[in-house]
Amino acid sequence: MSQPAADGRSGERSLHLTGRDALKDLATYVGRAGRVDAGGAARLVAHGEVVAVFVSPVHGGGGPTVMGLRAVRLAEPADVDTTVLLASLSDRFARIVGGGLIGPDAPVRLPLPPQEANDVPWAGMTPPRSGWEVVGTVPGPVLREAARAGVEEVAAGAGEGSGAQAVARLRALVWGRDLEGVAGLPAGAAFAADALGFLGADEPVGLHRTGAWRRLTTRHGHVLARSSLL
Segments making up each domain of the chain, as ranges: 14-124, 133-226
**Total-model pTM:** 0.91
Q: How far apart are CA 136 and CA 142, in angstroms?
A: 14
Give the pLDDT confidence of 55-70 residue by residue, as tens digits.
Answer: 999 998 899 999 999 9
| pLDDT, mean over the chain | 90
**What pLDDT was estimated at residue 86?**
97
Residues whose CB is less than 8 angstroms from the CB of residue 167 and which lie 6 or more positions away in sequence, other chains included: 154, 158
Q: Decide yes or no: CATH 2.60.120 for domain 14-124.
A: no
Which tens digits make up the pLDDT trace of 38-51? 899 999 999 999 99
168 vs 213 pLDDT, higher one: 213
* Per-residue model confidence as pLDDT tens digits over 128-140: 999 999 999 999 9
- Alpha-carbon distance 111 to 124, whole Å? 23
pLDDT of 1 above 60: no
Closest CA to 115 of 90, 93, 84, 86: 84
Q: Which band of pLDDT confidence, cut at 50, 70 and 90, is reported for residue 103?
A: low
Contact 32, 111 (CB under 8 A): no
**Region 192-217 average pLDDT:** 94
* Those residues with Cβ within 8 angstroms of residue 171's Cβ, 6 or more apart along the chain or in another chain: 58, 61, 63, 154
